[in-house]
Amino acid sequence: MMKKILAVALLFGLANSAFADSEDKGLYVAIGGGSTPSTTSSGTTTDAGSSYGAFLGYQFNRIFALEAGYTSLLSKANMNLSGTVLGDQSLSGSEVATVFSYPVAKVFSPYVRVGSASMTMTTDVLAAYTGTGVASTTNTSVSGLTYGAGVQLNLSNHFGVRLGYNAYNLKDSTGTSATYDNAYGELVVKF
């Protein structure tokens, strides 16, 4: 039995050393898009919206990376109350995250992503709902924790594809919180 355990440990060590090549560290760019489902807060529903983002990252080794960039979770998504459109909402800003990967094989790595976002929520309300005949626009700064998981498929030493899911727990200055989800796909270009 001990010989089998040693053999498995030796094979595991050889496999890990095979994955630990010079391509395991360096700069990368991740660009992608996705979808944010609809949310409801205080009776007002914001429709599902498109998301997109761009990140510059540094891979320290096969397991740990740090990235920073820009994320837009909503872009002019309709807000409605009881099916009547009130206006639209946008949510975008900067994000910093750490990425922890577990390389199963050279081409496949599940990962966990934890970070922080600082965004601006822009709400445009139609004139018919302001009571003054003039449309109103409010900008609210929100920030908070982001976390998620996904898989990365390495197509070559310089290109990869990520499929993932992130949650954003954001609060404004008064402590009012909102949670947004984002399913996305990204192209990763390694330098």
pLDDT classification of 95: cutoffs 50, 70, 90: very high
pTM equals 0.79
Which residues have CB under 8 Å from 136's CB, separation 6+? 124, 125, 130
Distance CA 3, CA 89 (A): 63
User: Domains in the chain, start-ordered, CATH in brackets?
Assistant: 25-190 (2.40.160.20)
Say which DSSP state 1 is in. Answer: -
- Quick one: what percent of the chain has pLDDT higher than 90? 54
Tokens of 106: 């050279």
For residue range 102-120, what is the model confidence (pLDDT) as tens digits? 999 889 999 999 999 999 9
